Structure 1
Amino acid sequence: MQRERLVVIVVYDGVQMLDVVGPAEVFATAARHLVDGGGYRVRIVSGDGQSVRSDSGLRLDVDGPLAEQVDPVDTVLVAGGRGCHVAAESAELLAALDDVGRCARRRGSVCTGAFVIAAAGWLTGRAATTHWMAGGRLAREHPDVRVSPDRIFIQDGDVFTSGGASAGMDLALALVEADHDAALARGVARELVLFLQRPGSQSQFSARMEHAIPAKSPLRTVIDEVVADPAADHRLSVMAERARISERHLGRLFAEQMHTTPGRFVERVRVDFACGHLEQTDLGHAAIAARSGFGNEETMRRAFARVLDLSPAEYRRRFQTTRRIPAQHQEKR
């Protein structure tokens, strides 16, 4: 009989309940499906062992303090929530994470729990994601982390990070599949009425909504068109014509309202689009470059180096899903 895997979920005052119960339900459901052992046991712990109050006001009892976890830990996940920044300043919690993290087989975070594990040093020099609204702050506060806030989840070595709260369930499903097989993950997803592989990525939210663009801003139409069709002609002159303003004024609006340039915004959207194809399809790099608006592989490679500090080939090796969609079934978007 296979050994039961212990999953420890770390909470604190201001934690988001879905970040906790979502992954917990995935692991618990997987355990019910496993009749030959090798299941999961979930423990909820806090830094001091005291119950916590979630950011919705609900109180959550815990199984004890993180530092007194004596059983071998397979997986430790830090949940996110509005209290993550205070938790990231807790010396007691960070010290306990350091101890447990060095012993666990794998480590990670759900949503803004990335701020806590970054403070613990787990993300230094690694690629990571978090909620799309918090990606900019994570990158500013931890410049040694390669932040991609548009991904559903990212694995870098033994460290896993996920995007928004519901993405924690996507991550848990991926961990279940890695431990067992796609059939089990599929059964869990079916029972919980989840996507086994969520279509798209956080970029469908972040690229359009990362900044609060005024309702009457000429940028709204321009940005929507770039996100809807990254491969279209999005030269500065063309975008300015669509917005019915001068190129100089368009550049000024991007700087003021998006904190970037038109060219860098278009490049980022195209990289996001290409990442999705690299993760989820068997298409060759030349085809992906064409669909994403880069024109050729070399242009795409240079863009990846600037935005992600990775080549497309390296990105695919790291993040390609085991549930790829064959190229012949891919329709050009």
Structure 2
Amino acid sequence: MDNRRRVLIVAYDDAQILDIACPSGALDIANRYGASPPYTIELGTLGRRAARSSAGIVLGAGRGLEAVTGRLDTLLVVGGAGFEEASADERLLTQVRRLAGSSRRVASVCTGTYVLAAAGLLKHRRVTTHWGYGERLAARYPDVAVDVGPLHIRDGNVYTSAGVTSALDLTLSLIEDDHGPTLARAVARELVSYLHRPADQAQISMFLTAPPPGDRLVRDLTGHIAGHLAEDLSPGALAARAGVSTRHLTRLFTEHLGTTPARAVREARTEAAAHLVRSSRLSLAAIARRCGFKSPQTLRQAFVDHYGCGGDTIRKMPDMPRPRVPQGHKTSLP
């Protein structure tokens, strides 16, 4: 009896090639490191047509979605520039619905979440997607609980992940669920990947709006701040992490960022919270906790101090508000 774990990756024109390569590459390495039962990985499209990625690389499909029968272990729908056309293609949605019914688990990467939502598979579920597309997803599907904070989310047997490289974090988690942490760590090492980012790490921590500071210590600390907003980020804690005195830390931040460690942390937390206010339906209390504020009231005051307006105004703005920068002060954090 063949007990392999069948994984079908659903693609379409203008799909993001990394959304395909990250899961398939990680699962292939898991097989080579002894995954038992191993994974069988196939790329499926409507009519078994080749899929043109958004990068222009054409991928030959191994299966036509209409011809896939039998039990699947994992159905994974990718994202990419073609997600709008894909989520409006009733032929594709019909096959996704049918295949989901015979799958142990269903997953999406990035804007592949839109395809699952259009297929009716995300009703009353908590999901994530790329941080830049969450607000639109929430408006289009009000019965879906969109949260663009985490890298990936599991709700029952449905797994959704954020943009592009978070597909690797999701796949490593699936491997760990299937085969344990030892194999997942081995795959991550082979991929020269971080071992490995937790599901609830904030998407906002993966990008900065300004060039990174030139000093390595300050650069490392700003990355730590962005990725651990809810933790103790007091000047003393940051200084201890860097192995320097609080006075020296303040001198470095002032020289390279034009601000103090405490103000840098407050800016990072405030701007991350503003992104969540605009792109998710989380309550202000939940956003405050996730971003390291002691209370919603403290967060409201931070919005007023940083943007000159409250959270309700930020949520309604068509674009992210610009911070109010005091004379002689510069911001360098997300």
Tell me the TM-score normalized by structure 1: 0.66
Give the residue type in structure 1 aligned to 2:7.
V
Answer yes or no: is the 8 Å Cα contact 1:14–1:55 preserved in 2. yes
Equivalent residue, structure 1, for 2:176: 177
**Using the alignment, how far apart are the partners of 1:252 and 1:114 within structure 2?**
28
Instruction: Please tell me whether residue 226 in structure 1 is matched to residue 273 in structure 2.
Output: no
**1:242/1:112 CA distance change after superposition, 3 Å:** closer
1:48-197 equivalent positions in 2, closer than 5 A: 48-197=47-196
5+ residue gaps, structure 1: 210-219, 263-333
The answer for the alignment partner of 1:46 in structure 2 is 45
| CA drift at 1:239 | 5.4
CA–CA distance in structure 2, aligned partners of residues 118 and 32 of structure 1: 34
| Distance (whole Å) between structure 2 residues aligned to residue 120 and residue 251 of structure 1 | 32
- Give the secondary-structure state (helix, strand or coil) at the position aligned to 1:48: helix
Instruction: Provide the residue aligned with 2:227 in structure 1.
Output: none
Q: Within 5 Å, which residues of 2 pair with 1:22-33?
A: 22-33=22-33
Match of 2:203 in 1: 202
Q: CA deviation at 1:135?
A: 0.5
Shift in Å, 1:208: 7.6
How many angstroms does 1:231 deviate by?
Answer: 2.9
Q: Distance in 2 between matches of 1:145 and 1:175?
A: 23
Paired with 2:299 and 2:128, the residues of 1 have a C-alpha distance of 29
Percent of paired sites with the same residue: 34
Q: Write the distance in 2 (CA, Å) between the matches of 1:255 and 1:207.
A: 23
Mapped contact 1:170–1:196 kept (Cα < 8 A): no
1:26 counterpart letter in structure 2: A
Distance 1:33 1:71, change over 3 A: farther
Q: Cα deviations across residues 171-229 of structure 1 (Å, max 9, x unaligned)?
A: 111111111110010100111111232163213258989xxxxxxxxxx9985452587
What is the distance in 2 between the residues matched to 1:259 and 1:107?
33
Q: CA offset at residue 122 of structure 1?
A: 1.1
How many residues are paired up? 247
Deviations 1:8-31, CA, capped at 9 Å, x for gaps:
000000100000011001111101
In 1, Cα distance between equivalents of 2:3 and 2:312: 58
Match of 2:75, SS state, is strand
2-side partners of 1:29 and 1:8: how far apart? 17
Could you list the runs of 4 or more consecutive aligned residues of structure 1 that deviate by over 6 angstroms after TM superposition? 206-209
User: Pairwise CA RMSD of aligned residues?
Assistant: 3.2
Structure 2 Cα separation of the partners of residues 207 and 149 of structure 1: 17
The one-letter code matched in structure 1 to 2:165 is: S
Distance 1:71 1:137, change over 3 A: same
Unaligned 5+ residue runs, structure 2?
Answer: 211-263, 273-290, 324-334
Q: Residues of 2 paired with 1:193 and 1:204: CA distance?
A: 20
